[in-house]
Structure 1
């Protein structure tokens, strides 16, 4: 039996500060995007902590140096559309050489079940560490469905990065994918009757793109 991996929560003053303003209902669309981008950099830093390195020799202006570089084909970021794109831009600022995949999922607001409408991944996924991006881990259904699909494409032990999560979503994802490391900025209280995170920050996609 695969052992469940405990979530990593970014308990850092900068994360807590920026997340407070991100949650504020009075934060503008422009500021919401900026804060999401800034938080995505901090998420990327933690989500990539376990990447393996290999020796790499270079010449500095003063002489030889035995350095290190990432091992293998490196990274693939997988954005769960559409809100995942809010995290994607900041992570690509930090790691511009990463490949990018996209998966589109719709959630039925009555049953909370998800259906796929788009899937596009790099061909060399099996040789890369995949980090799946979605601002919210709420019911866990979308995250679990996305990870199932990228595993079918060859991803091995992907990482799930989100701004907010709740115990219900974490439990659902761990039940279906116990090998996945969850990296989050906060574990909030609960889900409401409509499957939204409480206290949360509202609908991340709508706030990112100004659609409501």
Structure 2
């Protein structure tokens, strides 16, 4: 059984793009998704093994881990699954923080621990890649819980890099704007583009290029690759 690449959150956008292109590159890809999307049929046609799992439910996560335990080796774990909840009032604050920490921290932490043996069983060096966010270091006025959880995920990168070396490399990718949503208006788009030196969308390919770099490296670990179009200089 060939070593697999696990990608969480492959239903749309970046996760779908990564699963599609890594499968086309010849990798065995296992993907998780929360909601059904028509494009998942395209991934199935490419041979991607799909598992529906709502990470907010313990029973579904446990079932997923039992299925993943049947895989003899993993080449990489790519933690892409995410949620983006705005901060609420005092009645909802604790719930929002719990959800953000669960999806971005508790679930990757649990999966990393559960699949440690399969990562180390890979014939070559294995990888864990956490998809964090530009706001992990900047913070956010309207999405403080989200930003804090992504910062915690970035910190997990350091812990697991030290814990699993030298058999497993562990790194983060921290993107800023990659692509707009279909309902974003022109005023918002222009305002967002002006926040970076490059004044354009990065596109999903930037994440794919970063992942390919990390997968091919034999030396980089405990690092965060920032894909932000030069936002820190604006």
By the TM > 0.5 criterion, same fold?
no
Return the TM-score normalized by structure 1.
0.34
Return the TM-score normalized by structure 2.
0.31
Answer 1 or 2: which has greater helix percent: 2
